[in-house]
Amino acid sequence: MQSNSFCQVSNIVSIIGTGVTLKNDDSVSFSIARFNLDVANKKFYIKNKTVVKNQEFKITIPDLVEPTYINISAQRSGMPLLYHFLVSPGDNINLTFFENDYTVSGDRSGCFELQHKMRSMINHSPMPTSSTGTILPYLKSVDSLARSLQNLLNENKSLLTVQEWDILNTDLITFKGFQYYHINASMPEIKAQRPGYISDIKSYLASNITFRSQINLSANSLYYAEYLLEKFKFDSCAVINRPFEMKPYLQYLLKNLSGLQRDKSIVYALIKSKEISGDITEELNLAIAKASNPELATTITEFRNLKTDGATAFDFSLTDVNGKQVKLSDFRGKPVILDFWFTGCAACRELAPYMKKIEEKFAGQNVKFIGISIDKDRNTWRESIKSNKYVSPEIINLITNGNGNLDTVIDRYKVSSYPSLFLIDKNGKLFNIQNDPRADDGAHLKGMIEKNL
């Protein structure tokens, strides 16, 4: 019988970690996935730090109102990462770390040991590659792993609250589905065999998989929004050899989902999608009107405003290579091109020569080019600028001050992929650059700049 009567008298979660692998004064980072949205976004992925003292660290998470996923990692210690670890209000957790593992104790230790076992099974489960030329061995391995995980979850159901069970069970169902549908993106060597592999997957899914109806799946699942996005990309795009577009996907979510499931899935898609092209204003307006959660509605509103040409651009303040603070408003009266990038970004390197030609064409004219890097190490950033591989040393180069992709500027401009380009006109109004300069040799961007000079 499933238990739902655990005595949780507080909304505070307390975690204490000890172990010989922990080094004094080491920094231990922990993050909280608000709404259980697995996105690198400052608003939903809250990060904090504590320090190891006497080979022990303490983490306190206040005001938790529902089961929530957290991550814990140490900067230098040999502490294994606790990745997607579900905690509930009132939990008191004691972690003891060893060289390559950890144990859990406390009044809810059974719940956390169960999660640890499930995570270990996933991490250590051998998955065949697609080198055999067929996808079937991979699909069968996914099924075998999912059955083992489901059996383990069912056997330990009494250790979980009703909410925890719903979340973990939904995560398992959608994890399995994600592994099927993500094949389209994760196995390019199989993708090259199109259309044969598509037929294999469709046939296998038709005969081997039955998902519970969407209405019975927990809206607090970590993987549900990710699963839906990959499922749509397969069913409505890969199967008919059509590229993914945000507009029909938003229409699909608005038609088939409701409440928190719909709101989360829309926000996840907007944040995670690498490219949002086309006019989605109507869909976003409807999503805002239907939204059940005010905070998620605000996020959708911000995306709508950002994707509407003529919105007021966020006036950031970032540091340049000389340590000087630079504001966007410093350039009022001139059109500005923003180029978001980071060291190691292959697409950023591909874009660089095209941007160089555009910069040279408008040299000496009333336009400013600004590169904004999410590099966390300033020396790495400076060396990359000097290399001329990602951006030109001759433009204004700024950095997100060690905040990486969690900086406010990334959130306010809703940057979800790199490189990302924006044009701000001389009045501080934002315009989206719809055509990648790599695709048209910069013709579209050149035209936008000339129009705004």
Q: For the segment 226-265, what is each residue's pLDDT rounded down to a tens digit?
A: 889 988 988 888 778 788 889 999 999 999 999 999 999 9
Instruction: Compute the mean pLDDT over every residue in the chain, rounded to the nearest whole number.
Output: 85
Q: Residue 175 carries which side chain, given as an amino acid letter?
A: F
Q: Hey, what amino acid is at 157?
A: K
Q: 3-class DSSP state for residue 388?
A: coil
290 CA to centre of own chain: 24
Q: Do 13-107 and 312-452 show the same overall fold?
A: no
Lowest mean pLDDT among 36-40, 52-56, 82-86: 36-40
Residue 423 has pLDDT above 90, yes or no: yes
Asked if 317 and 343 touch (Cβ cutoff 8 Å), the reply is no
Query: What is residue 155's predicted lDDT score, i.e. its pLDDT?
Result: 96
CATH number of 13-107: 2.60.40
Q: What is the DSSP string of 262-324?
A: HHHHHHHHHHH-S---S--HHHHHHHHHH-S-HHHHHHHHHHHHHTSTTEEPP--EEEETTS-
Task: List pLDDT tens digits, range 299-349.
Answer: 999 888 877 778 889 999 999 999 999 999 999 999 999 999 999 999 999
pLDDT band at 195 (very low <50, low <70, confident <90, very high): low
87 CB neighbour count, 10 Å cutoff: 23
Over residues 89-110, the mean pLDDT reads 88
Return the closest-CA partner of residue 427 out of 343, 359, 335, 323.
Answer: 335
Amino acid 354: pLDDT: 95
Strand partners, 143: none
On whether the CB atoms of residues 396 and 370 are closer than 8 A, the answer is yes
Residue 362, helix vs strand vs coil: coil
Rounded average pLDDT over 169-197: 68
**Cα–Cα–Cα angle for 50, 67, 47, rounded to 5 degrees:** 30
pTM of the model: 0.77
pLDDT digits (tens, 9 = 90+) for 269-293: 998 876 666 678 899 999 999 999 9
What is the model's pLDDT at position 191? 53
Check residue 3 and give its pLDDT: 43
Q: Domain spans of the chain?
A: 13-107, 125-242, 245-308, 312-452
- CATH dotted code for 312-452: 3.40.30.10
The secondary structure of 1-61 as a DSSP string is ----------S-EEEEEEETT--TT-EEEEEEEGGG-----TTTEEEEEEE-BTTEEEEEE
Strand 368-373 to 336-341 pairing:
parallel
Q: How far apart are CA 343 and CA 419, in angstroms?
A: 11
